Amino acid sequence: MSAPKDVIAAVRHADPYPFYRHLRETRPIYFDEALGFWVVSSAELVKAIFGEPGFYVRPVGQIVPPSLQATEIGAVYGSLVRMSDGEYQRLMKHAVVTALSEVDRLHLQSLTEAGIADFGLRENELFSQSFYNAMYRLPAYVVAAVLGIETTALRQVAELTGYFLGALSPTAITAQIERGSAATRTLLDMFEAQAERPQSRQSTVFRQLLTQATADGFEPAQVTANAIGFLMQTFDATAGLIGNAFLVLQRAGAPATLRDWPAFLAEVLRYDPPVQNTRRYATHYLELGGQAILAEDPVLLVMAAANRDPALNPEPDVFRPGRAKRDTLTFGHGAHLCPGNLPAITIAAGALTVLWGKWRDTEAARQFAEAPAYRALPNARIPEVAQ
């Protein structure tokens, strides 16, 4: 098997991990002239950048990509805590974490089970449709329910979230951006209507976020943007976790009970993470790993390589759900640590319990695992499943 040509091609390669190991061992930080950015792959340097306030998640002065600036999506994107830095990020992140802290595993399991029933995952006789619904629609459905969207609109929100994400792709064409912008307007209307309901009628993550964030001085529009941000961050990441975990199941077998799934999935997040890369941009001149990084230089952090750094995890190429001290950078680190670990693992566990039970011994599952193809995405590693 030939090695991937670069770190972007590695995301959809059948086995990128020997390539990642070579980067860590021979050039843990280097500038890729063809791609036009720095590549960082060692755990030490990835953690250092995550913790360095001199790196932002977006280029300075350009939070919103130019193609989205005049769209409904641009207004949402510019308010996302995930895409912000500084005082706004710190305060809004506090509101987000406070709201999410009220969500418990049993509630998530109940909502996941409701979504499994609504999409008919136990009854569906088509492998591709079962997996598509489980990977993409179910996570958005559950998170929309957690946020307080009406039950009758949950399936619609799952579809709208897909359109929103499609417009964010660097390769999105005009029609995709227009469809995503229309979907964003509908989502905003849903959350704005929810915000106007009497508070006594609901106790949801969205209501808690609205209460906390407005108390901290934020505008309601910034709150609704970050509610959509919950859906956005769930969509591809949980799809990749479910897909990659099923491929691991084909080799390692399934956990014995639902209580064993969190450790299994935590190891998948380390071993073959759904989000392989993330980006940072230098705000000023810095020296890192013996290299001079100039202001505005883009840096690609290869979290998938860092997760398998032996300095972070002993015997990193061994899949071990019972790993005693697992250190995973898949959800980030420091100020931008993603608080979505519990929802992602809980939803994935519910989906995989059903999918594995129904499809594990079938020819369709064997073919899926034998030669998986991955979506052509620059950062997310998601097995391709036709709708």
DSSP secondary structure, 234-248, as one string: HHHHHHHHHHHHHHH
**CA 103 vs CA 72, 206, 227, 273, 296: distances in Å:** 29, 11, 14, 24, 38
3-state SS assignment for residue 312? coil
Domains belonging to the chain, first-starting first, are 7-370 (1.10.630.10)
CA distance 16 to 39: 15
Element (H, E) at 108: helix 105-118
In DSSP terms, 286 is beta-bridged to 293
CA distance 81 to 63: 11
In DSSP terms, 46 is beta-bridged to none
CA distance 307 to 318: 12
**CA 44 vs CA 30, 40, 297, 303, 305: distances in Å:** 15, 10, 20, 11, 11
Give the tokens for residue 345: 């693992």
Give the tokens for residue 80: 């996302």
| 311: amino acid identity, one letter | A
Could you list the pLDDT tens digit for every one of the 387 residues in the chain? 799 999 999 999 999 999 999 999 999 999 999 999 999 999 999 999 999 999 999 998 899 999 999 999 999 999 999 999 999 999 999 999 888 888 889 999 999 999 999 999 999 889 999 999 999 999 999 999 999 999 999 999 999 999 999 999 888 999 999 999 999 999 999 999 888 876 645 568 998 899 999 998 999 999 999 999 999 999 999 999 999 999 999 888 888 777 899 999 999 999 999 999 999 999 999 999 999 999 999 999 999 999 999 999 999 999 999 998 899 999 888 777 788 889 999 999 999 999 999 999 899 999 999 889 999 999 999 999 876
User: Residues 6 or more apart from 356 whose CB is under 8 A from it?
Assistant: 246, 249, 254
- Name the residue with tokens 């190429």: 317
CA distance 79 to 172: 21
**CA 292 vs CA 24, 281, 284, 328, 343: distances in Å:** 18, 13, 11, 27, 39
Tally the C-alpha atoms within 13 A of residue 324's C-alpha that lie toward its C-beta: 2
pLDDT score recorded for residue 200 = 46
Note whether 58 and 299 are within 8 A (CB): no
The helix-helix angle for 205-215 and 138-147 (nearest 10°) equals 50
Give the tokens for residue 376: 């052509």
